[in-house]
Amino acid sequence: VIDQTLLPGRLELLRLDSPAAVGEAIRSMRVRGAPLIGVTAAYGLALAIAEDPGTRAIERAAQALCATRPTAVNLAWAVSRIGEHVRPLPAAERAAAAWRAAGELAEAEVRACEAIGRVGAALLSERFPVAARPLEILTHCNAGWLATIEWGTALAPIYRLRDEGRAVHVWVSETRPRNQGLLTAWELREHGVPCTLVVDSAAGPLLASGRVDCCLVGADRIAGNGDVANKIGTALKAVAAKDAGVPFYVAAPLSTVDWGLADGRGIPIEERDRGEVTDEFDIAVFNPGFDVTPARLVTALITELGVAPAGDLPKHFMELGVLHPARLARPGAELES
């Protein structure tokens, strides 16, 4: 994996060769971003199964991996997928099967992100016809290929538009305290997409100024009613966007939807260490990693299966025939295919 704590200053690879190393990398955010921590945890469980393929040991390893970061549902989803896949198999076959399943999961996430790029680029091209100035997009945190293996979620439509020759300029909010905006700016610059870093609290006046056409962010967990948990600072931007009449889009694969969760109040919000904010003063610190944007502030959800109304997700995907109603009843419920 890339050690993302060193970026954008240094690009260094890190070899994770044990479940403990995987857990540490996720907890410390060397590996970060909802789809990427899901896939990394899947490989972590495969490593654990190679050490001990017993059912109890698998459950313990799965629990330890799930405890590393609570908010992004992709992590628990990916770990349970691997667990369910190997459970019916004889112990001797479990390690190889888990490794294969982790690889398939990684490939599926890449395909989903590529599709999100296509769907999102088509939506933005239709909604914002080519004009004299570039398309102006505000994003928050890092929802690019660093967070997802390839393409990204929120950045996938931007890469796609750029590949199609559309002029795009991205306003990248800094995303304190971990500065994931710097990762986004690094990615965009590497891909030749012009961008400007925005001080977090300046997003409000920027949106009010009329210089932004739309907001486009990723997600870490989406409740059944369309409430969206994403990096802290997202919800305030959604409020400011609503006030300014700027559309607010969320791009995410369906592995980020927690179908069994009625609304955003049930989403566990990770609280991170005070040392991320200050290590000098002995002062109480409130450092939540995420916030929840209510579905009513989300213009639409961009998924690998098309654009969906945030407020009507289950109905939309049931009508598409990919979500069975019975699956809504239990946490972690999955799509039919």
Catalytic residues, by residue number, are: 220
Cα Rg, the chain, nearest whole Å: 19
Binding of ligand MRU at residue 184 (CB under 6 A)?
no
Question: Can residue 26 be called a binding residue for ligand MRU (CB under 6 A)?
Answer: no
Question: For residue 164, how many other CB atoms are within 10 A of its CB?
Answer: 11
User: Shortest approach of ligand MRU to residue 39 CB, angstroms?
Assistant: 12
Amino acid at 294: P
Q: Does residue 117 touch ligand MRU according to CB under 6 A?
A: no
By CB under 6 A, is residue 230 in contact with ligand MRU? Answer: yes
Judge residue 319's burial from the number of C-beta atoms within 10 Å of its C-beta, 0-12 exposed, 13-18 middle, 19 or more buried.
Answer: exposed
Site for ligand MRU in 317-336 (CB under 6 A): none
In this chain, which residue has its C-beta nearest to ligand MRU?
218
User: Is residue 218 within the footprint of ligand MRU (CB under 6 A)?
Assistant: yes
Query: Which of 78, 141, 188, 254: binder of ligand MRU (CB under 6 A)?
Result: 141
Q: Kindly determine how many residues on this chain lie close enough to bind ligand MRU according to the rule CB under 6 A.
A: 18
Backbone φ and ψ for 198, nearest 5 degrees, come out as: -120, 130
Determine, following the binding rule CB under 6 A, whether residue 293 of this chain makes contact with ligand MRU. Answer: no
Residue closer to ligand MRU by CB (options 49, 116) is: 116
Query: Given the rule CB under 6 A, which of 79-87, 100-108, 206-214, 217-225 is the region that contacts ligand MRU?
Result: 217-225
Determine, following the binding rule CB under 6 A, whether residue 217 of this chain makes contact with ligand MRU.
yes
| Helix, strand and coil in the chain, % to nearest 5 | 45, 15, 40
Q: In this chain, which stretch among 39-47, 100-108, 138-146, 193-201 interacts with ligand MRU, using CB under 6 A?
A: 138-146
- Going from the C-alpha of 64 to that of each of 20, 190, 198, 270, 273, the distances in angstroms are 9, 35, 37, 16, 19
> Cα(265)–Cα(140) distance, rounded to whole angstroms?
22
| Residue 153 found at the interface with ligand MRU (CB under 6 A) | yes
Q: Is 299 in the site for ligand MRU (CB under 6 A)?
A: no
The Cα angle at residue 87 between residues 86 and 91, in degrees rounded to 5: 75
- For residue 38, CA distances in Å to 166, 220, 316 come to 32, 11, 25
Give 159's Cβ-side CA count (13 Å radius). Answer: 23
Measured from the CB atom, the residue of 19 and 35 that comes closer to ligand MRU is 35
| Minimum CB–partner distance for residue 105 and ligand MRU (Å) | 16
Is residue 148 a contact residue for ligand MRU (CB under 6 A)?
yes
Q: What is the dihedral of CA 127, 130, 133, 139, to 10 degrees?
A: 40
Sheet holding 300-303, edge to edge: 195-198, 168-173, 135-139, 214-217, 248-251, 300-303, 306-308
Q: Which stretch binds ligand MRU (CB under 6 A): 120-128, 204-212, 218-226, 327-335?
A: 218-226
Beta-bridged to residue 228, according to DSSP, are 222, 293
Length reported for the chain: 337
Is position 73 an interface residue for ligand MRU (rule: CB under 6 A)? no
Among 19, 22, 30, 32, binds ligand MRU (CB under 6 A): 32
Binding part of the chain for ligand MRU, among 31-39, 53-61, 186-194, 312-320 by CB under 6 A, reads 31-39
**Contacting positions for ligand MRU (CB under 6 A):** 32-35, 141-143, 147-148, 153, 180, 217-220, 230-231, 289
